[in-house]
Structure 1
Amino acid sequence: MTAEAETERPGAEADEPGWEVDPDDEWALAVVATVGRQLKLRREAAGMRAGEFGAAVGYGEDLVYKIEGGRRIPRPEYLERADEVLGAGGLLAAMKEDVAKVRYPKKVRDLAELESRAVELLSYGSHNLHGLLQTEEYARALLSTRRPTLSADELERAVAARMARKAVFDRVPAPELSFVQEEVTLRRPVGGRMVLRRQLEHLLHVARLRHVEVQVMPTSRGDHPGTGGRIQVLKFGDGTAVGRADDEFGNRPVSDPRQLRILELRYGIIRAEALTARESLAFIEQMLGET
Structure 2
Amino acid sequence: MRMNANLSQEEFGRMVHYSASMVSAVETGARPLDRVFLTRADEVLKSGDLLVALLRIAERDREPSWFKPWLEAERAARQLRLYETALIPGLLQTENYARAVLRFNDTFSEAEVERKLAARLARQEVLGRENPPQLVVVLDESVLSRTAEGLSGIMVAQIGRLIELADLPHVHLHLVPRVTGLHIGSSGPFALARSADGGWVGHLEHQLGGAVVDDEDGVAALLARWENVRTEALPRRQSIDLMKEVQAHHEPQ
Establish whether TM, by shorter chain, passes 0.5.
Answer: yes
Q: Structure 2 residue aligned with 1:227, among 186, 195, 207? A: 186
Q: Cα offset for 1:174?
A: 2.8
Q: Structure 1 residue aligned with 2:143, among 160, 185, 205? A: 185
The separation in 2 between residues aligned to 1:237 and 1:138, in whole angstroms, is 32
Correspondence for 1:198: 157
Q: State the SS of the aligned residue for 1:216.
A: strand
Q: 1:222 to 1:73 in 2, by over 3 A?
A: same
Q: Structure 1 residue aligned with 2:199, among 240, 257, 269? A: 240
Q: Which runs of 5+ in 1 are unaligned?
A: 1-37, 49-55
Q: State the SS of the aligned residue for 1:227.
A: helix
| 1:127 and 2:90 matched | no
Residues 157-179 of structure 1 deviation map (CA, whole Å, 9 limit, x = unaligned): 11111111111222332311111
Query: Contact 2:39/2:51 (CA < 8 Å) preserved in 1?
Result: no
Q: Cα offset for 1:146?
A: 1.3
Correspondence for 2:223: 264
| 1:116 and 2:79 matched | no
Q: 1:221 to 1:90 in 2, by over 3 A?
A: same
Q: State the SS of the aligned residue for 1:237.
A: coil
Query: Amino acid of the residue matched to residue 21 of structure 2?
Result: G
Q: 1:279 to 1:102 in 2, by over 3 A?
A: same
Query: Amino acid of the residue matched to residue 255 of structure 1?
Result: D
Q: Structure 2 residue aligned with 1:58, among 15, 18, 21? A: 21
Query: Contact 1:121/1:235 (CA < 8 Å) preserved in 2?
Result: yes
Q: 1:287 to 1:102 in 2, by over 3 A?
A: same
Correspondence for 2:55: 99
Query: Amino acid of the residue matched to residue 257 of structure 1?
Result: E
Aligned residues: 236
Q: Structure 1 residue aligned with 2:112, among 154, 159, 168? A: 154
Q: Cα offset for 1:76?
A: 6.1
% identical equivalent positions: 29
Q: State the SS of the aligned residue for 1:102.
A: helix
The separation in 2 between residues aligned to 1:60 and 1:208, in whole angstroms, is 39
The separation in 2 between residues aligned to 1:121 and 1:81, in whole angstroms, is 32
Q: 1:170 to 1:103 in 2, by over 3 A?
A: closer
Query: Contact 1:82/1:92 (CA < 8 Å) preserved in 2?
Result: no
Residues 58-85 of structure 1 deviation map (CA, whole Å, 9 limit, x = unaligned): 3899996x76xxxx985568879999xx
Q: Cα offset for 1:262?
A: 0.2
Rg larger in structure: 1
The separation in 2 between residues aligned to 1:173 and 1:266, in whole angstroms, is 28
Q: Which runs of 5+ in 2 are unaligned?
A: 9-18
Query: Amino acid of the residue matched to residue 97 of structure 1?
Result: A
Correspondence for 1:164: 122
Q: 1:165 to 1:59 in 2, by over 3 A?
A: closer
The separation in 2 between residues aligned to 1:157 and 1:119, in whole angstroms, is 28
- TM-score relative to the length of structure 2: 0.77
The separation in 1 between residues aligned to 2:130 and 2:26, in whole angstroms, is 40
